[in-house]
Amino acid sequence: MPKLTVNGKEVEVPAGTNLIEAARSAGVEVPHYCYHPGLSIAGQCRLCMVDIEKTPRPTIACNTVAADGMVVLTETDRVRETRKSIMEFHLINHPLDCPVCDQAGECWLQIYYMKYGLYDPRMTDEKVHKPKAVPLGPHVILDAERCILCSRCVRFCDEITGTGELGIFERGDHSEIGLFPGAELDNKYSGNVVDICPVGALTDRDFRFQVRVWYLETAKSVCPGCARGCNIEVHVNRRRPHHAEGRRVARLKPRFNADVNQWWICDAGRYGFGSVDAKDRLLVPTRRDGETTSDATWDEAIAAVAAAVRRFPPDEVGVIASPRMSNEDLVALRRLLDICTIQRVAFGVPPRVPGDEDDILIRADKSPNAQGAELMGLAGDARAILGAACGRRLKCLWIFGHDLLASAWPEAEVREALDGAEMVIFTGTNSNPTSERAHWVLPAAAWVERDGTYTNFEGRVQRFRQAVEPLGQALAEWEMLGRVLAALGEAPSATRAEHWFRRLATAGPSFAGLSYQALGDTGRLVAGSVAARAPR
């Protein structure tokens, strides 16, 4: 492990570490554009110049490997001057259209100009003009004039997805990013190029012009789109509710986790949050009597559910839980099943179309917490529960989230089951054909509206945090289940998701020793699981 000093501070770094990362480990920021830790070294932007003792002139830090005894200085006069010059070169042909640019507020040209530029502009000639507002694919749009040609997007498509849609065409100051003939930027990870674009060249078609980034607030979260559990940030707009037609969740961004998703997320996850602010959200508890549906209070709904599980014999109650429920919801459900001695429980409902999978991030299992449901002993035969309902051996069927009518099961069989049960309870965030046939509908808070944890496919328990208030009267499942338990005589004990997690941690060996604090921002593996290979 080479030992070196950066601005006088000694650090020891793993062999092969470059000077940007070595400086970072010494708490020193070396400004850069083209360098990205997840991509190959390009050395093109020339901004990351540092001084190394005994070298005649500043050297790029990204392509210099830390060596024992190296003396690195990042703030010498000539480094500052060089940086200033490089900033000027980056900006002479830049349109400086910040007021109408979506990147404004999170643009590294703005940030570095203010930190390292601050020169008086000298460029008075006509700038080079290039294509603007060019859609590259379903999600990404290009403004070639704003582009600083760092090639991060090109390298992403070459090295991470291996799809190679993008290239740099033409030469000199006419160089521009573009698609190869016949190509479209429609790979399953295309949105990542927007994240890694340091400027406003590549922006999100979905997000742009919706809200200025300085109005956004951030919550650390986990993508619920598949069993990978990519770490994300949820960006919400609460300060400008009149923007974006009132949609609260503005966008999702990947959050680095070396063991789960590194810097990336897939497009399905990134753009899959539409249901949160959709018109079909369930907002209040409702009861259906024949063709008549009416709103109810939570007290009425809880009383009705409690009465049902008390009234029907346990083997006449079937519960189809959801692998989209959090560990906290599932442990509350587990408790309810235990005290009511309900045996008929399952969570797996086969999708009509099998999920896609790849060797990057995407898992075929499109639910975030099948592993958690499994560990809590909720695995059962859902088809058998359905069969019992068809055979009128089931009086009460409680469905969490699933649209059984959209599953791989024959629709007629599902209809028969839903008709066969005396009481169908549906708990979920959005209405669907199954919820429309339920007698009681209990609105659940979406994952961004509550705290919780998921256990991913490899057994990593990861926290997601509340970003916005629940819509209407929606409640987290653990909370409504807690109220049912209270109605059944259990002393109320959990007023926060974390309380249920504590009970989980003491309930069995898998989650033993875990706590929200221990999970931190990157999660922890449950006992007995072995970390899978890191994603590519």
Partner 1 sequence: MTGETILTRNFARSDSHTLRAYVETGGYQAWAKAQAMEPAAIVEEVKAANLRGLGGAGFPTGIKWSFIPKNHAGPVYLVINADEGEPGTFKDRYLLERDPHALVEGMLIAARAIRSATAYVYVRGEYVEPWRRFSAAVAEAYAAQHLGRGFDIVVHRGAGAYICGEETGLISSLEGKKGWPKLKPPFPAIKGAFGAPTIVNNVETICHVPHIITRGAAWFAALGTKTQGGTRMYSVSGRVARPGVYEAPVGITLRQLIYERAGGVTGNGRLKAVVPGGSSAAILTADEIDVTMDVDGLKNAGTMAGSAGVIVMDETVSIPEALMVVARFYAHESCGQCTPCRESTGWIYKMTRRIVEGRGRKDDLDTILDVAKRGAGTTICAFYDGAVGPYISYIEKFRGEFEALIPHA
Q: Tell the smallest beta-carbon distance from residue 176 to partner 1 (Å).
A: 9
**Angle, CA of 199, 205 and 211, to the nearest 5°:** 75
Among 5, 25, 44, 430, binds partner 1 (CB under 8 A): 44
Q: What strands, in cross-sheet order, belong to the sheet with 9-12?
A: 9-12, 3-6, 71-73, 49-52, 59-60
Three-class DSSP category at 437: helix
Smallest separation, CB 327 to partner 1 (Å): 47
Q: How far is Cα of residue 268 from the mean position of the Cα atoms in its chain?
A: 10
Q: Which amino acid is at 405?
A: L
Q: Does 168 bind partner 1 (CB under 8 A)?
A: yes
Q: Which is nearer to partner 1, 59 or 293 (CB)?
A: 59
Give me 270's structure tokens.
């990134």
Judged by phi (left if over 0) then psi (alpha if -120 to 50, else beta), residue 258 lies in: alpha
Residues in the chain: 536
Sheet holding 249-254, edge to edge: 216-222, 231-237, 249-254
d(C-alpha 11, C-alpha 73), whole Å:
13
CA distance 11 to 187: 40
Q: Which is nearer to partner 1, 82 or 427 (CB)?
A: 82
Query: Using an 8 Å Cβ cutoff, are 396 and 417 in contact?
Result: no
The nearer residue to partner 1, 170 or 184, going by C-beta atoms, is 170
Does 45 bind partner 1 (CB under 8 A)? Our answer is yes
Considering only 89, 215, 256, 409, the residue that binds partner 1 (CB under 8 A) is 89
Q: Provide CB contacts within 8 A for 190, sequence distance 6+.
A: 136, 137, 138, 139, 140, 267
Phi-psi region of 292 (alpha: psi -120 to 50; beta: other; left: phi over 0): beta
CA dist., res. 63 & res. 61, Å (int): 6
Options 45-53, 306-314, 355-363, 407-415: segment touching partner 1 (CB under 8 A): 45-53
CB of 38 to partner 1, least distance (A): 18
Residue with smaller CB distance to partner 1, 51 or 477: 51
Does residue 41 belong to the site contacting partner 1 (CB under 8 A)? yes
Closest CB to partner 1 among residues 109, 317: 109
The CA-CA-CA angle for residues 72, 75, 81, to 5°, reads 120
> Is residue 43 within the footprint of partner 1 (CB under 8 A)?
yes
DSSP string, 335-394: HHHHHHT--EEE----BSSPPP--SSS--S---S-HHHHHHTT----HHHHHHHHHTT--
Stretch that binds partner 1, among 102-110, 162-170, 468-476, 497-505 (CB under 8 A): 162-170
Give 67 or 519: the residue with its C-beta nearer to partner 1. 67
Interface size with partner 1, residues (CB under 8 A):
36
Nearer to partner 1, 121 or 314 (CB): 121
Closer residue to partner 1 in complex, CB, 88/436 = 88
> 169-208 mask for partner 1 (x: CB under 8 A)?
-xxxxxx---------------------------------
Binding track, positions 104-123, relative to partner 1; x by CB under 8 A: ------------------xx
Tell me whether residue 92 or residue 134 sits nearer to partner 1 (CB atom). 92
User: In the sheet that 317-320 helps form, which strands lie side by side, from edge to edge?
Assistant: 292-295, 286-289, 440-443, 423-428, 396-400, 317-320, 344-346
Say which amino acid occupies 180.
F
Work out whether 134 is an interface residue with partner 1 (CB under 8 A).
Answer: no
Q: Which of residues 371-410 bind partner 1 (CB under 8 A)?
A: none
Q: In the complex, what is the shortest distance from the CB of residue 44 to partner 1, in angstroms, rounded to a whole number?
A: 5
Q: How far apart are CA 312 and CA 388, in angstroms?
A: 14
Could you tell me if 191 and 265 are in contact, meaning their C-beta atoms sit under 8 angstroms apart? Answer: yes
Site residues for partner 1, 48-87, by CB under 8 A, read: 49, 57-58, 63, 81-82, 85-86
Residue of the chain from 74, 93, 429, 431 that contacts partner 1 (CB under 8 A): 93
Contact 127, 92 (CB under 8 A): yes
Q: Is 124 in the site for partner 1 (CB under 8 A)?
A: yes
Closer Cβ to partner 1, 123 or 384, answer by number:
123
Residue 412's alpha-carbon distances to 408, 418, 419, in angstroms, are 12, 10, 10
Does position 148 interact with partner 1 (CB under 8 A)? The reply is: yes
Which of 32, 36, 46, 463 lies at the binding interface for partner 1 (CB under 8 A)? 46
Check residue 16 for interaction with partner 1 (CB under 8 A): no
Cβ closest to partner 1, residue 92 vs residue 111: 92
Output 43 or 387, the one with its CB closest to partner 1. 43
Stretch that binds partner 1, among 1-9, 90-98, 244-252, 481-489 (CB under 8 A): 90-98
Residues that bind partner 1 (CB under 8 A): 41-47, 49, 57-58, 63, 81-82, 85-86, 88-90, 92-93, 122-126, 128, 148-149, 167-168, 170-175
